[in-house]
Structures are given as structure tokens and as C-alpha cells.
Amino acid sequence: MDNRAIKKRLRQDALARRDALPPEWRIEASLGMADRAGEIGVEPGAVVSGFWPMRSEVDIRPLMFALRELGGRLCLPAILDKETIVFRELVRGASLIDMGFGTAGPGPEAEVLQPTLMLVPLAAFDKRGHRIGYGAGYYDRAIARLQAGSRPPRLIGIAFDCQEVEKVPDEPHDIVIPEFLTESGLRSFAPAL
């Protein structure tokens, strides 16, 4: 089986486990993650990119708002075309528009920001910090673009423990996520040697 087929299977299995979690439990776990905002920490004015939850994802809105209370400036991804996302500022009271894939984000009138902290959605991850996204590659391209800049963002993958898999197949373009936040807490992964 090739890497693409393995990743597809791992993604399907991890998402099925996540979908099987009771909605009430997911809400409580998401609120518990928000209580860890102080562990994550942000400097005043830091630009924090989050995501509007879709399907059974961790609802990170409480965490985002807790990070805003610590001085963070929030933004959400906006899909520009089949290849590109940018991060638009999320301000209180602004209307959100449909971004496709069951998610929402600020409209084109919102300021485009460069995240210094990215809360990264995912389907599955392993203990080495490798992740499987949803298959479109938007985050991989956006992270690569930001890492090529002068100030690469801090990356934290967001998931439930049940989304962890034994091993995600390595590929040359993979971006390792050094930290993950689950209901069990914030974990750091040492870079592979």
C-alpha cells in the first residue's frame, strides 16, 4: 500500500473515532482545552490563527477567546482559491461568511494578518509530530509559505487523544508540528534526528 492510501485509511479511522465521541463530551473537552491558554501563553499583540470548527472537530473558539484575553489578536483562515489560504482578522461583532468545507471566516474587508501562533486542525497525528490533514493541503502550503518568511509561526496541532495513530508515513514535504494540544494537555515533541 502506498503512502497516500495509508494516510487515507488512517484519516478515515481517526475521524471515525472522533465522530464517535459523544457531543457533550467533546464540548467539555474543548472547554478544558481553553483552560490551558495560560500554558500556551501569548505575548500582547501576538497574532493567533485559529479555525472555525467543522463536524466533530475540537471547538477551539473558547481557547481562541481565552488567548485573546491574554493579549492575542485573532485571525481565521480564508480560502482564496484551490491552492491558497490567507489569515483574516477576527474581530468582535464582525460578520462571518461561508468558507466552504462547513466552516466560516471573516470576509474580504477584514485585514490579512501573518500569524505568530497557529492552532492547526488535523485528522490524525503521531507521537513524532507528524500530522494528517484533511487531504487538500491548504495548511501544508500556508505553513511552508510562513516558515519561509522572516518570522516562522509557532505551530500547535489541535485534536482529541483518539486521533493519535501509531505512525504517519513520512513524506519529503511533511511539516512536523512540534506541539499538540489535546484533552490530556499540551505536549511537545522533540525534533526527529
Domain positions in the chain are 3-185
- What DSSP state is assigned to residue 164? B
- State pTM to two decimals: 0.93
- Count of other CB atoms within 10 angstroms of residue 192: 9
Q: Which of 4-13, 57-66, 155-164, 184-193 has the lowest mean pLDDT?
A: 184-193
| Greatest mean pLDDT range, 4-13, 76-85, 129-138, 182-191 | 4-13
Q: Identify the band that residue 190 occupies on the pLDDT scale cut at 50, 70 and 90.
A: low
List the binding residues. 7-11, 57, 131-139
The full DSSP string for 125-151 is E-TTS-EE--SS-HHHHHHHHHHTSSS
Element (H, E) at 25: helix 23-34
pLDDT tens-place string over residues 82-103 = 778 899 999 988 888 887 777 7
**Binding residue ranges for ATP:** 7-11, 131-139
% of the chain at pLDDT higher than 90: 67
- Beta strands, E only, the chain: 47-49, 73-79, 85-89, 96-100, 103-106, 112-113, 117-121, 124-125, 131-132, 154-158, 179-182, 185-188
Write out the three cell numbers for 177: 508540528
- pLDDT at residue number 193: 42
Annotated binding site for substrate: 57
In percent, the amount of the chain with pLDDT more than 70 equals 97
Q: CATH topology for 3-185? A: Rossmann fold (3.40.50)
The model's pLDDT over 135-163, given as tens digits with 9 standing for 90+, comes to 777 888 888 888 888 889 999 999 999 99
